[in-house]
Amino acid sequence: MLTRITGLHHVTSMAADARQNNDFFTGKLGLRRVKKTVNFDDPGVYHLYYGDEAGTPGTVMTYFPFPHMMQGRPGVGEVGETQFSVPKGALPFWRERLAAEKVAGLEQDVTFGAKRLRFRGPDGDGFALIEADDDARTPWTGAGIGDAEAIRGFAGARLRLRDTGAMAELLGFMGYQKAGAEGDVTRYVIGNGNGADTIDLELLPEAPLARQGAGSVHHIAFAVPDRAAQLEVRKALMDTGHQVTPVIDRDYFWAIYFRTPGGVLFEVATNEPGFDRDEDTAHLGEALKLPGRYEPYRQRIEEQLEPLDP
Ligand code: ZN
């Protein structure tokens, strides 16, 4: 069993409109934009990162906004709900705020003993705010959201699957332990995690396969401290039969990817070097940052990208 994974690192999704996406996460949810860069495989498209002050692993929601992309069709083989942690008592504030902002899909319930407010992103993305009274992470505040309400980072993610057996086994191998079940949903939790500690598996044997598009999660990344731990994890996954990519330099972390049974794309990303490697923490996310190989084409790339800020 692996012992080096510490919870989620980031969640990466797709969107149809960069400005709308930026406004939703910074303006409505009050996260900090911690990096404005491009898709390393398609530099005409942004890669936007939102999180806490430093973009701490376990807080970072990232997006590829592909202009005019069609919406995805929800189904199995994907992350159905990305969950953010907020303090106990914060949900009435959020319900009022998100309703006033005309956010779709607002629905409140209780899941695994915690109050949950579900809502939809601009492209139909499945999100939830979950109340927790023991989340010690320091939030980014502003945009009219104070310390008593602000998002602390991810709580976890809910995966929709036609069959959960192989995924449950994989999560066990990654260091997660079964922590309970509620209806068709089984919860797994990692010990000594970074706060983004839970993975829920939702069993939907009859549901159609998801079709990826705007509003779909592209992949979900798990955190390891450093490159040595990543190599250890990579070897262990390969030894148990997973097809894992070579280590890829993503400038702000190192990444490996593998397709899990059931279809969800997993990444394992390092906590090093972090988002302050090429700009001061005070100015994270302000300037367009390009990986070195695209720097000669900066002018052309900038002309293609729609400005995000008014
Ligand atoms: Zn990623």
Report if residue 1 sits inside a domain. Answer: no
Report if residue 310 sits inside a domain. Answer: no
Distance 93 CA to ligand 1 centre (A): 31
Give pLDDT, residue 251.
97
Question: What's the CATH code of the domain at 289?
Answer: 3.10.180.10
Model confidence, pTM: 0.98
Phi, psi of 281 (to 5 degrees): -55, -35
Report if residue 3 sits inside a domain. Answer: no
Distance 221 CA to ligand 1 centre (A): 6
Give pLDDT, residue 54.
98
Distance 19 CA to ligand 1 centre (A): 21
The band of 105, judged by pLDDT with boundaries at 50, 70 and 90, is very high
Report if residue 188 sits inside a domain. Answer: yes
Residue 135 and residue 151: Cα distance in Å, rounded?
10
Report if residue 27 sits inside a domain. Answer: yes
Name the residue range of residue 71's domain.
Answer: 8-304
Report if residue 309 sits inside a domain. Answer: no
Distance 103 CA to ligand 1 centre (A): 26
Mean pLDDT of the chain: 97
Report if residue 276 sits inside a domain. Answer: yes
Distance 12 CA to ligand 1 centre (A): 6
Name the domain count of the chain: 1
Residues with CB under 5 A from ligand 1 (ion): 12, 221, 267
Distance 267 CA to ligand 1 centre (A): 6
Distance 255 CA to ligand 1 centre (A): 7
Report if residue 2 sits inside a domain. Answer: no
